[in-house]
């Protein structure tokens, strides 16, 4: 019986740079912690003499981006212990904030995703995945053995052909993929050569947004798609539908390079394997901060080194 997981038409690949890629993997664990004198001087909040007053001062500092402790995001008590031990080895008499304080501070952390410069036209690949939220529904199911409603959000990513995250968005679970992808396209700097996505992005609005950037759309039409007979319509989408009907879906995917859509699937695999498949912050602002931090971390790991694969025959 033919295998559905490894069909005969799938291409096999081998890694040609194991030595340099292995050094890059080792470098991911090389962590350097440096605390500036200004950060040490402003580490502890000022006492204001009223209950809850220090928290208000911290909120104002976060809005002004002057609180030195804000970039450190431990989320558990064990992480606090690691930070305290690092301070001890560095000879610093600093107190590590507890995990609840840092979770609250994450709401006010003004953080942006690091921009990735590309020297040539970008080939953007978009997709989305779900990240669960550990909240009341999961707690009720574990505590009282009752049925609780699971909550989750969508993480939308736009990556290039090398797997670097170029754009991202964190939305509610009910938000349409194609609508969010239009915002990702607008957020990309520079020229865009092509935009690849699965059948969820087969909308006229998506084609129009890509056409406004001069990009070629590589999206398989839905199986029920038909050529438009009235407005609104997209000539590029109609050409894709005609081509798929003429040569077949499999041949179209191979000729158009749709297989590169796997790059964004790899990015989601790395996200959930390294970062996790859930959002731990309670507030939407804190959840957004966590997603930005995760994307920055993954990009830094990717830029340290990546495998160089080549196709081999069966």
pLDDT tens track of the chain, all 314 residues?
A: 555 666 666 677 888 898 998 988 888 888 788 888 888 888 876 666 666 555 555 555 555 544 444 444 445 677 788 888 888 888 888 888 777 777 777 777 777 776 666 567 899 999 999 998 866 555 566 666 656 556 789 999 999 988 899 999 999 999 999 999 999 999 898 889 999 999 999 999 999 999 999 999 999 998 888 898 888 788 999 999 999 999 999 999 999 999 999 999 999 999 999 999 988 887 888 888 889 999 999 998 888 888 888 888 65
- Do 149 and 103 lie in one domain? The reply is no
Tell me the C-alpha distance between 58 and 67, whole Å: 7
Torsion of CA 122, 125, 126, 132, to 10 degrees: -120
252 occurs within a structural domain: yes
Average pLDDT, the chain: 82
311 occurs within a structural domain: no
- Do 251 and 172 lie in one domain? The reply is yes
Tell me the C-alpha distance between 74 and 54, whole Å: 20
Q: What does the DSSP 8-state code read for residue 231?
A: S
- Do 164 and 286 lie in one domain? The reply is yes
Residues in Cβ contact with 299 at an 8 Å cutoff, skipping those fewer than 6 apart: 114, 116, 164, 165
- Domain's final residue, options 80, 108, 136: 108
- Do 126 and 102 lie in one domain? The reply is no
24 occurs within a structural domain: no
Q: Residue 153 maps to which CATH number?
A: 3.30.420.10
- Do 137 and 104 lie in one domain? The reply is no
What are the tokens at 234? 């997209």
Tell me the Cα Rg of the chain. 24
Residues in Cβ contact with 194 at an 8 Å cutoff, skipping those fewer than 6 apart: 123, 124, 215, 216, 217, 218, 257
249 occurs within a structural domain: yes
Domain range for 250: 122-304
Tell me the C-alpha distance between 186 and 158, whole Å: 11
Strand-pair partners of 203: none
Residues in Cβ contact with 224 at an 8 Å cutoff, skipping those fewer than 6 apart: none
Query: Tokens 């559905």 belong to which residue?
Result: 4
- Do 159 and 78 lie in one domain? The reply is no
pLDDT, position 14: 86
- Helix (H) or strand (E) holding 249, with range, is helix 249-256
- Do 202 and 284 lie in one domain? The reply is yes
- Do 227 and 272 lie in one domain? The reply is yes
Strand-pair partners of 64: none
**Preceding amide of 287 cis, omega within 30:** no
Q: Which tens digit of pLDDT belongs to each residue from 141-193?
A: 666 665 655 678 999 999 998 889 999 999 999 999 999 999 999 989 888 99
Could you tell me the CA-to-CA distances from 165 to 7, 150, 185, 198, 299 in Å, in that order? 29, 28, 13, 18, 6
Query: Tokens 């529904």 belong to which residue?
Result: 137
What are the tokens at 88? 């001890």
- Do 276 and 205 lie in one domain? The reply is yes
């Amino acid at each position: 019986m033919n295998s559905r997981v490894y069909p005969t038409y799938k291409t096999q690949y081998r890694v040609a740079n194991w030595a340099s890629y292995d050094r890059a993997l080792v470098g991911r664990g090389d962590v350097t912690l440096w605390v500036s004198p200004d950060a040490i001087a402003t580490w502890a909040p000022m006492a204001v003499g009223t209950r809850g007053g220090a928290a208000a001062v911290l909120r104002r500092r976060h809005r002004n981006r002057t609180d030195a402790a804000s970039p450190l995001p431990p989320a558990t008590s064990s992480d606090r212990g690691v930070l305290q031990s690092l301070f001890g080895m560095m000879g610093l008499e600093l107190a590590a904030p507890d995990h609840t304080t840092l979770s609250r501070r994450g709401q006010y952390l003004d953080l942006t995703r690091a921009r990735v410069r590309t020297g040539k036209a970008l080939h953007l690949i978009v997709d989305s995945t779900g990240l669960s939220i550990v909240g009341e529904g999961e707690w009720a199911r574990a505590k009282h053995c009752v049925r609780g409603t699971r909550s989750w959000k969508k993480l939308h990513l736009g990556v290039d052909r090398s797997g670097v995250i170029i754009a991202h968005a964190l939305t509610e679970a009910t938000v349409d993929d194609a609508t969010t992808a239009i915002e990702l396209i607008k957020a990309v700097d520079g020229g865009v050569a092509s935009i690849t996505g699965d059948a969820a992005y087969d909308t006229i609005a998506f084609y129009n947004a890509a056409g406004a950037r001069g990009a070629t759309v590589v999206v398989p039409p839905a199986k029920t798609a038909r050529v438009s007979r009235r407005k609104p319509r997209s000539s590029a989408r109609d050409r894709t539908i005609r081509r798929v009907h003429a040569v077949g879906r499999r041949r179209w995917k191979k000729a158009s390079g749709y297989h590169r859509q796997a790059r964004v699937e790899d990015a989601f695999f790395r996200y959930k394997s390294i970062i996790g498949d859930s959002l731990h912050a309670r507030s939407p602002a804190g959840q957004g901060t966590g997603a930005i931090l995760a994307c920055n971390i993954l990009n830094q790991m990717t830029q340290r080194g990546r495998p160089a694969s080549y196709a081999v025959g069966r």
